[in-house]
Amino acid sequence: MTVHYIFPVGGSPWLTSSEETVVDSSEISTIFSDTDHISLSLLFQAAVSYASEELDVTFICQKPLVTLPKTVHGMPQPDAKTIGTVKFLYLSTVEELTEYCSSVHLKTVLPDILIVSDFHHYLSEGHSSVGEHTAARLLALILDAFCYIKKKKNLSNHALLMSCNSSIKWISSVAKKINYAVLKLTENEFKESHLEWSKQNKHYLLKFVSEEQLFLKHLTVKEA
């Protein structure tokens, strides 16, 4: 499950919740955030955690990372070996992203984990923005590529994880219609961030703070 690979949830000594909490998240998820640098850190931590289990990770972004994003305290940390197994794929345009997804079936080496950072950049290139229909087609294409990978590799541990800026108001509803789980990420003036999602009639609220690393503070689960 995606959240287990980002935060040390479920019996963690860093979790202040007094109860043992079972976290249920999806293998196909999109994080919607108004703070791109934090969502990037969450995606990066997921990549490192999956790679530490010797899973093949492809991390799609528009350009190389200038510095390494923050990691999560209590989770696997990046080292030369782990980072070396993450394939960073730099696709600068929506055409390049489309070409990658369309040609997945021709590739001899496929990832176990597919991560797409800052999806909103592909929706607003230059001074123009794509509409809901075009965005839905692109999301469906990425999902189709992931489903092909999952079927072809026939392994139990696969994940598709994306991030998107919440300034595009309609994109979350479009993602839900195509069966992406939606996780909402917000940050308050005290640098405390909240990650919220719902699944199987339960609502999850995970709180963390950003310092040198991201520190998990609290997780609550309520009936939706």
Provide the whole-model pTM. Answer: 0.91
Question: Is residue 6 scored above 90 in pLDDT?
Answer: yes
How many residues are recorded in the chain? 224
How does pLDDT run across 89-134, given as a tens digit for each residue?
A: 999 999 999 999 999 999 888 999 999 999 998 987 654 566 788 8
Q: How far apart are CA 73 and CA 107, in angstroms?
A: 36
Tokens 């960073």 belong to: 88
Looking at the structure of the chain, the number of domains it has is 1
Q: How far apart are CA 38 and CA 186, in angstroms?
A: 9
3-class SS of residue 29 = strand
Q: What average pLDDT does this structure show over 145-153? A: 91
Domain interval for residue 24: 2-223
For residue 122, what is the domain's CATH number?
Answer: 3.40.50.300
**pLDDT-above-70 percentage for the chain:** 89
How does pLDDT run across 14-69, given as a tens digit for each residue?
A: 454 444 455 666 789 999 998 889 999 999 999 999 999 999 999 999 999 889 99
Phi and psi torsions of 124, nearest 5°: -145, 75
Please report the pLDDT score of residue 19 as a whole number: 45
Phi and psi torsions of 207, nearest 5°: -110, 135
Tokens 């939606």 belong to: 182
Please report the pLDDT score of residue 20 as a whole number: 44
192's enclosing H/E stretch is: strand 192-199
